[in-house]
Chain A
Amino acid sequence: MNSMAHPEKRDLGRSRRYGDGFVEALLFFAAITSILAMILIFYFLTFESFLAFREVGILDMLIGQKWHPAGEIFGMAPIIVGSILITFVALFINILVGVPLAIYLSELAGRRSRELLKPAIELLAGVPSIVYGFLGVLVLVVYLERSFDMLTGRSILAGAILLGIMFIPALTTICEDALRAVPKEFKEGSLALGATHWQTVRNVTLPAASSGIIAAVILNVGRIIGETMAALLVVGNVARLPSPVFDAFDRGAIFTSVIAGEMGEVAHGSMHYHALFAVGFVLLVIVTVINISADLVRAAIQKKFGGY
């Protein structure tokens, strides 16, 4: 009735509705962009690496003992071993420093020192990786060379130390959030029962925050494996199996360093080019699996211990 009495108002309403629909369509497109991007990334990496997998054979490529592009031998075992070594050592350093720092920030630090420290650590999470790599080359590599009388300081150990230090802020920030999300009542209950502060942290706060902490650690595994520039500059980038497999003092190569180090020089469309895409594809699959499992682990642990 009303709309008949005021036709111009009805028109306004309609154009408004059409405008709304148009905006919604635009927003919908924006929302599915990330799905599209993910599909495109997977498609192009699969597409470009398909040739290499077909020529070399999937199994030969994944467990082949030698990576020798000039001879068209593409086995990823040295790269995988290097990546595993680096990840373990880097994660060890990362957790050893990062988690205590998070405990300090959430439990021990006074208000003022936390207000100073927290932004500082967040700030450091943003230092570009190439700057870490630069320092690694000029400081860490030189130091290792001098200390251990190595042929060259560029080694898996150097990469691991650098990556371990680099991702301390990332780990600390997430862990601290997880620790602070533990409700006060839990801690107060424990303290009221006569437990010391440390007993409370160990038996109440840490278990309650474990889902966040474990998820943070798994996410950091993904970050360490996927970090490129810093690793490229200090690991030495020689893709061969270390002579005892655990020899972290030897030069090595990881997924990212092989791709970044060799892609600049290969001919477009050669077998080497496709093999590097295959390395990238394996890396992408590993990192995606890690990221999804981090999410699942968090959900599973939260279900087990109850959310809050």
Chain B
Amino acid sequence: MKKIRPAPLASLVVALFLLASSLYYLVVQPGDIPLVPFWEGGLLICLVLMAVSILALHREGVNGKGVDGKGAYKKVVDGKGVDWPLGRLLPLAADLAYSLLILLLISSARIRPGLEFELLNLSAVFTYKIVLPFLVFLASFLAIKDSINLLYGYSTRGREVLVFSMVRLSAVFTLLLLGGIISVILFRGMGAISWEFLTSPHFRLGTEGGISTCIQGTFWLVMGAMLISAPLGIGAAIYLNEYSKHSGLKRVVTIAVGCLNGVPSVVYGLFGLAFLVATFGLSLLAGSIILGLMNLPTIILTSQEALKSVPNSLREGSVALGATRWQTVKKVVIPSALPGVLTGLIIGVARAAGETAPIMWTAVTFSATPVHMFYGVVPDVSQPVNNLCYHLLNLIYFLGAWDVEEKAWGTALVLLALVLFINMVAILVRNHYRKKISW
């Protein structure tokens, strides 16, 4: 059982309080800061406690008691207690000096309300309300680091605790951040959602009405994109995995797919503008082709992954029964790989629904235009359509000029919900079959 050192533990607790409170003021910025005396006191306590614990640790080493008082560990622990190599001492001294400096700056009113300064000609002004919490935050962060090190007597265990708590902290931070993003949109967008919002077209530059034509347009764009990318993508994956004999062609296609995967969405937009709009005009067809091409690499890669996971024994069994290659692929390989392929397709749908840049100049228009249907089932592909993403973009542009903020939140919520829902289906499908199939 390890002896717990009280002094570093206490300073750790104080530093944690400083960290939390300064972070709060840094992020929320509620105006004036009533906590300043507490921060001064906290820094002082931290400094004293850390100095005490350094001395205690030093004495522990000198007296040769060891951390747990056992002979076997004594030497190791003694070495750590007595030894203060430069690499350990200097950062510690620097941290303490920094905290002391901050303390002095605050108490001598160098950092006071109304403080303003500019730095290096940057086009930002650093004011009291942001400088003070930041400095305290940094000081408390350093204090936590040193306190943990002192608490464990600079052992490797202490280092582990330190690093892993940072790692955990970053995980918590990310989750809070990403959770925050979703909940903000959810709470602000909820107010705008109503049956009418979902089922009526917008008018008066989006300040009134809903987003029905946008949902319609997005649906048909995604459908068109999938009609193009699904056969091509799955076909390419089958050819690469089941048919191709030349490794040269396979290699070239793999490189092309990798490149295509990395092409920025705005470049797809430029390509569509130069190539397709010249031929088909601003139309649903042009947008579908562009989105389809953009989805192609995703679908090829996921389908290939799925096909690869089908064991060769299945193919051999089928061929041994006299089936041709295509029969084998059709009856054996594809059904086995279906869940993986399906996951890829669903992810493709979500991607196509969330893209703005490729269709901005190729397929969409802002003024409400319902998709014109032939015989009620086939959409007119030569007309431009509305689109959720593009609608949201325009509403963002209008934010300052017209009262569209609520509609914008609503549109963002619908878009986010749509895309996340589709992605969730993909993940569920994958997880379901991953558990079920075991070769």
Contact = CB atoms under 8 A, between A and B. Distances in A.
A binds B: yes
Interface of A: 16-17, 19-20, 23-24, 26-35, 37-38, 40-41, 44-45, 47-48, 96-97, 100-101, 103-105, 108-109, 117, 119-124, 126-135, 137-139, 146-151, 155, 165, 168-169, 172, 196-199, 219, 222-223, 225-229, 233, 242-244, 247-250, 255-256, 259-260, 263-264, 276-277, 280, 283-284, 287-288, 290-292, 295
A123 B427 contact: yes
A148 B361 contact: no
Contacts of A119: 424, 427, 431
Contacts of A280: 266-267, 270
B271 interface: yes
23 contacts: A20-B324, A23-B326, A24-B239, A24-B325, A30-B234, A34-B260, A44-B271, A48-B274, A100-B170, A104-B171, A122-B427, A127-B181, A127-B419, A130-B389, A138-B405, A222-B262, A223-B262, A228-B264, A229-B389, A242-B123, A264-B361, A280-B267, A291-B262
Nearest to B238: A27
A193 to B, nearest CB: 13
A152 to B, nearest CB: 10
A149 B393 CA distance: 27
Contact of B256 (A30, A35, A126, A150): A35
A148 B126 contact: yes
Q: Summarize A's interface: helix, strand, loop or mixed.
A: helix
Interface string B388-401: 01001100100100
Contacts of A37: 256, 260, 293, 296
B357 A229 contact: yes
Given A45-B271, A128-B416, A134-B412, A31 B239 contact: yes
Given A40-B271, A45-B267, A151-B123, A131 B174 contact: no
A288 B164 CA distance: 37
Interface in B268-299: 268-271, 273-275, 293, 296-297
A198 B164 contact: yes
B309 interface: no
Contacts of B178: 120-121, 124, 168-169
Per CB-CB distance, the 9 closest pairs between chain A and chain B, nearest first, are A226-B264, A30-B235, A128-B354, A291-B262, A148-B124, A27-B239, A198-B160, A149-B125, A249-B124
Contacts of A264: 360-361
A168 B174 contact: yes
A27 B249 CA distance: 13
B83 to A, nearest CB: 19
Contacts of A120: 175, 178
Given A41-B268, A196-B160, A259-B270, 14 more contacts: A24-B325, A27-B236, A27-B239, A30-B239, A41-B263, A96-B170, A126-B354, A128-B415, A139-B184, A146-B29, A147-B29, A168-B174, A244-B122, A250-B123
A291 B258 contact: yes
Contact of B130 (A44, A127, A148): A148
Contact of A30 (B236, B267, B389): B236
B201 to A, nearest CB: 20
A169 B275 CA distance: 34
B314 interface: no
A205 B433 CA distance: 30
B70 interface: no
A284 B264 contact: yes
Contacts of A256: 264, 266, 357
A241 to B, nearest CB: 13
Contact of B156 (A26, A41, A96, A199): A199
Given A256-B357, A264-B361, A130 B423 contact: no
A103 to B, nearest CB: 5
A280 B270 CA distance: 7
B263 A104 contact: no
Nearest to A104: B171
Given A34-B256, A147-B130, A283-B267, A44 B125 contact: no
A161 to B, nearest CB: 11
A129 to B, nearest CB: 7
Contact of B259 (A33, A40, A291): A291
A28 B124 contact: no
Given A26-B235, A123-B427, A229-B356, A32 B412 contact: no
A126 B419 contact: yes
Contact of B127 (A24, A44, A48, A149): A149
Contacts of B325: 20, 24
Given A100-B171, A130-B389, A149-B127, A34 B257 contact: yes
B361 A263 contact: yes
B419 A128 contact: yes
